[in-house]
């Protein structure tokens, strides 16, 4: 990876993180929110995504002192919004088959923020056949398995069969790559994210899948960049950072940097951006989260000396 790629990736990530921090109050839960969460996608899920990005900035520890401070404060904000874990505990207690409390807990557990009662409850529910057999699409089952691994629940008899989970996914079949569509693209990215724990375990991606992704990832990035699907492009760029030999190119990073707005927002796609502040945040928060993660991992992998740039 060239120094220009590292510099651009850092700049994109730093601006994106600052935008998330500056607009964090727009991602707060409603004052009357309860564990039932009538609209989980409204604020609850985005709040967890922001915590994820901040936790990975802290995990990699390659950002500057300002970015590390913003990341710590962002995680703290999200943790307080979840009532320091009480909301996650209440939601898991009430809805045993739901996996989102466990998954939402991961960014906090990753950096040492634990909730004792939730730990006990998750240890119980994660061992139940009913919970472990709950039906979901294959890459979502990988998400739960990785969440359990990070939290410390994937042990002994409760260990997951990673090979079986992997081969059940679209990517696990190494299918005809030209038949990938937009939704399957997201499934591919998340399969890689969970197998590698967002780049922490690059060898978690089996060898044949590593070869397959390494061959076709540049093509997929170009396809969705051509039609300005920046959210999926940035997710695919994270995939590149999760490979044993990372794929990060100057052309990709220059393209994403040009799409980023001066205030740090990274647009979801090429459509006009609505001016109303609440809609602007709701529409583009996810892509800005993804850009924060992509830049953080690109810099981190560059510093370990294994990145492959073109």
Tell me the per-residue pLDDT of 169-180, one tens digit each, with 9 for 90 and over: 999 999 999 999
Three-state DSSP state, 308? strand
**Concatenated DSSP letters of 146-171:** HHHHHHT---GGG---HHHHHHTSTG
Could you report the per-residue pLDDT of 69-85, keeping only the tens digit for each?
999 999 999 999 999 99
Average pLDDT over residues 280-286: 97
CA-CA-CA-CA torsion for 108, 109, 115, 116, nearest 10 degrees? 180
The percent of residues above 90 in pLDDT, for the chain, comes to 88
The CA-based dihedral angle spanning residues 244, 69, 100, 268, taken in that order and rounded to the nearest 10 degrees: -70
pLDDT, position 308:
43
- DSSP tag of 140: H
DSSP string across 203-240: GGS-HHHHHHHHHHHHHHHHHHHHTT-HHHHHHHHHHH
Does residue 40 surpass a pLDDT of 80? Answer: no
Which pLDDT score, from 0 to 100, does residue 309 have? 40
Query: CA-CA distance, 74 to 149, in Å (whole number)?
Result: 24
Q: Is residue 66's pLDDT more than 80?
A: yes
Q: Map out the domains of the chain with their CATH numbers.
A: 3-303 (1.50.10)
pTM of the model: 0.96
The confidence score (pLDDT) of residue 96 equals: 94
Task: Give residue 307's pLDDT.
Answer: 45
Is residue 83 classed exposed, middle or buried when 0-12, 13-18 and 19+ CB atoms within 10 A define those classes?
middle
Interhelix angle 250-259/230-242, rounded to 10 degrees, is: 150
Specify the pLDDT at position 1: 63
The pLDDT score that the predictor gives to residue 72 is: 98
- Per-residue model confidence as pLDDT tens digits over 98-149: 999 999 999 999 999 999 999 999 999 999 999 989 999 999 999 999 999 9
What would the DSSP string read from start to end of 44-72? Answer: HHHHHHHHHHHHHHHHH--S-HHHHHHHH
* Residue 286: CB atoms within 10 Å: 18
Per-chain mean pLDDT for the chain: 94
Evaluate if residue 36 carries a pLDDT over 90: no
User: Could you report the per-residue pLDDT of 210-219, keeping only the tens digit for each?
Assistant: 999 999 999 9
Euclidean distance between CA atoms 137 and 143, whole angstroms: 10
């Amino acid at each position: 990876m060239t120094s220009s790629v590292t510099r651009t990736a850092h700049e994109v990530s730093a601006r994106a993180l600052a935008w998330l921090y500056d607009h964090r109050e727009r991602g707060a839960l409603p004052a009357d929110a309860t564990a039932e969460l009538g609209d989980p996608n409204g604020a609850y899920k985005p709040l967890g995504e922001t915590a994820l990005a901040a936790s990975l900035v802290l995990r990699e520890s390659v950002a500057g002192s300002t970015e590390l401070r913003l990341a710590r404060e962002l995680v703290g904000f999200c943790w307080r919004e979840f009532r320091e874990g009480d909301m996650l505990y209440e939601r898991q207690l009430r809805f045993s088959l739901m996996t989102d409390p466990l998954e939402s807990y991961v960014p906090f557990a990753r950096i040492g923020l634990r909730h004792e009662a939730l730990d006990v409850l998750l240890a119980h529910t994660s061992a139940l056949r009913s919970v472990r057999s709950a039906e979901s699409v294959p890459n979502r089952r990988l998400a739960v398995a990785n969440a359990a691994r990070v939290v410390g629940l994937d042990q002994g008899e409760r260990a997951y069969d990673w090979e079986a989970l992997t081969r059940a996914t679209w990517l696990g079949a190494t299918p005809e790559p030209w038949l990938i569509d937009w939704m399957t693209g997201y499934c591919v990215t998340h399969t890689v994210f969970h197998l590698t724990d967002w780049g922490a375990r690059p060898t978690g991606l089996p060898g044949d899948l590593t070869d397959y992704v390494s061959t076709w990832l540049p093509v997929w990035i170009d396809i969705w960049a051509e039609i300005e699907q920046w959210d999926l492009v940035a997710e695919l760029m994270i995939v590149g950072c999760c490979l044993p030999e990372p794929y990060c190119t100057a052309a990709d990073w220059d393209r994403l940097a040009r799409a980023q707005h001066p205030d740090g927002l990274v647009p979801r796609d090429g459509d006009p951006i609505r001016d109303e502040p609440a809609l602007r945040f709701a529409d583009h928060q996810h892509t800005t989260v993804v850009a924060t993660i992509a830049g953080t991992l690109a810099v981190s992998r560059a510093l370990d000396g294994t990145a492959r740039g073109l």
